[in-house]
Structures are given as structure tokens and as C-alpha cells.
Amino acid sequence: MDIDLQRRIDRTAGTVLCGILSLFPRKDRGRGLKSDPKGILVILLSEMGSLVLARPMFTFLREKYQEAPIYAMVFKRNAECLEVLDLIPPENIFTVDGDSFSGLIRDSIRALRGIRIKEIDTVIDCELFSRISSIYSFLSGAEIRVGFHPHTQEGLYRGHFINRPVLYNPYHHISRQYLNLAKAIELDHMPLVKRKMDDHIPPPPALDRGSVEEMEKRLMGDFPQLEGKKLVLIYPGGGLLPIRAWPLGHFCAAAQDLIEKGYAAGIIGMKQDAGLAEAILAACRSELAIDLTGYTRKLHELITLFHLAALLITNDGGPGHFASLTPIPAIVLFGPETPALYGPLDDKSVALHHPLSCSPCLTAYNHRNSPCDGNNLCLKSLSVEKVLDRAYALLKGGPVPGDEHGQPAGKV
């Protein structure tokens, strides 16, 4: 489903439904409600990278509420991420189709029926950019409903039936704020969560070595010219939000320079990113530039591929977060969003950000609908030379040159 259509539906129908549901009787802020959940549902529909950033929250829930089964509600295209991360059992995942309106309605009814059968009594709504997850939390029948709430801020209206409302704070990394949601189940302050933000981020899960060896055999069989070369993976796509993409010409120049220095460049992405890969390969005119768009058919294969490469250069999005689960260092390019909120959680990645007076412009306050005219100067201002300086430092294993616009992504 087109993202602009999603926004329109959410703004019109979503606002009306939230208003109607807010008329139903409710207990103010959940006072007096039990805080020993028998079943916890996490609603996190957005991009797969957000699920990686939610790992600390899932870990906390598992350790804190060992007797309560944990469930999740996600878009179908994101379900594999939960399975790869091994956050919850596959049978505890409820999915909805986010690619068509009819599929969304059909799957929503089916999923909500299943949630009610499980008699889940606690829902954590992790969404910031839509109202549908808030509606799901009400229709789930859960007694405790945790979610972000604007309070005195001019935030996205999502109804008044969240009875564990947590203040969204744009100055704290989103992984910490997900933890706030989990900890709000038992709290009753105003605002609910008042704590020191010093959480330990658990290490990434290990990947089976056998699958890495299988991928290496496949890769070398398909591209024997990679033998003896360090492979740099490049993700030039912007996903659902093309405004997050570094200019294609910059990616072409960076790939050319890497190949001239003796490295190989592999262009990754979905099958629909093949046109971007074709442009980069045409600019490089070298067998060391290879098209890997659509090469990894599943997320597990992409993560496995990361184990075989020396570096990832990527726009802000899922690949940078998936790389944090592997040994590969990454350069993540930010512009319309900020690494202060969405940077990868590892210490080996570098977030590059050239903030302008208008950035970040994709926020919880505008439904990630930027007022930018498409001329994303915040990313165009990140020069090829600056990105390559950090790339070669990471490839050589030395200290990464820094300035006011570069920072280790893990320092959140």
C-alpha cells in the first residue's frame, strides 16, 4: 500500500475511530489495575530496523515476567526479523498485511480474534507514526494498555484509552524509550517513567557458522572475481522513504574509488533496487562491481552475507541495524532522521549526520511526512570524500577520523 495512502487513511479514519473509542468508559491511567500480566502483546508494525532496536525491551520483558508468554503483532514482511532475532516463539507472532487495504482489514480481524482467544491482558504499543496500533490495543481486550502519549506536547492524536501513557521524549534513543514502555506496566507516576537512562544493551545473537560457510561457497561460485578481495557492501536504496537516500551519484563515485583502491563493491537491496545497482555498475565498469540486489531472498541470508564482507555503507534503515548483529562495521548515513534517536546500537558502526536548520524533519510529530521538496541537502552535504575517509579507516582497522558531524553509532 502506498505510504501516502496509508497516511491519509490514518489521518481521517484513524482519527475518527480513536475519538469514538475514547468515549468508552476506562480506568484513569490504569490506577488499581493489576501489574502481574498473564500475557503480554507487543505491537510494533513499522520497519524491521525498529525490531532490532526493540531487542533490549524484549529481553527485559522475558527476564521480568518469566511466567507470562510474550506475543508480537507485526506486518507480515517484518515477521522474519523476529524469527531471526529469536525474540519470541514463531507461534506467538500475529501478522497483518500492510501492502493492501483489503488484506489489512482481513488480517486485522483474524489477528484480533486470535489475540482475544489467548486472553492477553497487557498490550505494549510501540508505534509513534500511526493510529492503527492504538486502535489494535483497545480492540485486543487487554486491561493494561501501554503506549506513547503526547501529554502536554503537540503530538499525534491517538485517542485517550491508553491507560499507561508514557511520555515520548525526542531527546532519548528509541531503544531506551521502548524500555520505558515495558517498565511502565508497573509504575504510576506522572509522567509514568522517571528513571536514569543507563540500561545495559545485551550483545547480539550469534549466527550459526555453517550457514556462513554455505553462503561463502555460493558467493564465490557466482562471483569468482571476488577471490582474495575485501568486499564492501553498498545499500543505495531509501526503502519506504526515498528522502533518506544519499545521492546516487555519490554512491557511484564512492564505489569507483573503492574499486580503484583494490576493493570489490557489492550493491545490495531488494529486487526493485536493481535499477540503482545498474547505474552504479555502469559508472564503475569493472567486474569488481557486482549486483547483489535480490541475491539474499531472506533476512537470514542478508545477515549471513554481512559476515563475509569487510564493510557496509548504507542509508539510514534496516541494513545498518542488521549489520549491528554481525562482525561487519558499517557507515550509516543520516539526514532527515537523527542517529541520536535511531542510530545502530553497536560500537563498530559510524553514524554520519550533517544537521541543517531543518533536520531532522522526519519525526513523530509529522507522521514522518517531511515538508522537504525532495532536495535533501542534509544528505547531499555529506561529501564522498568524508564517507571514504571513514571507510578506509574502518577497512584498515585503524581509528576512524571524526568531527562534529560523525560519531560512533553505539554511543547513545
Contacts of 172 (CB under 8 A, 6+ apart): 197, 341
Spatial separation of the C-alpha atoms in residues 29 and 147, rounded to whole Å: 11
For the chain, percent of residues with pLDDT exceeding 90:
50
Instruction: Tell me whether the omega of the peptide bond preceding residue 191 falls within 30 degrees of 0, making it cis.
Output: yes
Q: Are 11 and 367 in contact (CB under 8 A)?
A: yes
Residue 152: predicted pLDDT:
58
Residue 5: predicted pLDDT:
65
Spatial separation of the C-alpha atoms in residues 378 and 303, rounded to whole Å: 29
Describe the strand order of the beta sheet including 122-125 as a list of residue ranges.
93-96, 70-75, 40-43, 122-125, 144-149, 164-167
* Strand runs labelled E in 69-150: 70-75, 93-96, 122-125, 144-149
Q: Are 344 and 319 in contact (CB under 8 A)?
A: no
Fold of the CATH domain 210-408: Rossmann fold (3.40.50)
Instruction: Give residue limits of the domains in the chain.
Output: 3-183, 210-408
Residue 411: predicted pLDDT:
46
Q: What is the pLDDT of residues 326-371, one digit of tens each?
A: 999 999 999 989 998 898 888 889 999 988 888 888 877 777 778 8
Question: Could you tell me the pLDDT band of residue 30, with boundaries at 50, 70 and 90?
Answer: very low
Nearest CA-CA partner of 364 in 341, 343, 345: 341
Q: What is the pLDDT of residues 161-215, one digit of tens each?
A: 788 888 888 888 999 899 989 988 886 666 667 666 666 666 556 666 678 889 9
Q: Is the pLDDT of residue 57 over 70?
A: yes
- State the amino acid at position 284 in one-letter form: C
Q: What is the pLDDT of residues 4-16, one digit of tens each?
A: 666 676 767 767 7
Could you give the count of Cα atoms lying within 13 Å of 211 in the half-sphere of its Cβ? 15
- H helices then E strands: how many in the chain? 16, 13
Average pLDDT, the chain: 85
Residue 285: predicted pLDDT:
96
Spatial separation of the C-alpha atoms in residues 305 and 293, rounded to whole Å: 12
Q: Exposed e or buried b for every residue in 107-146, given b needs 16+ CB within 10 A?
A: bbeebbeebeebebbbbbbbbbbbbbbbbbbbbbebbbbb
Same-fold call for 3-183 versus 210-408? yes
Fold of the CATH domain 3-183: Rossmann fold (3.40.50)
Region 387-401 average pLDDT? 86
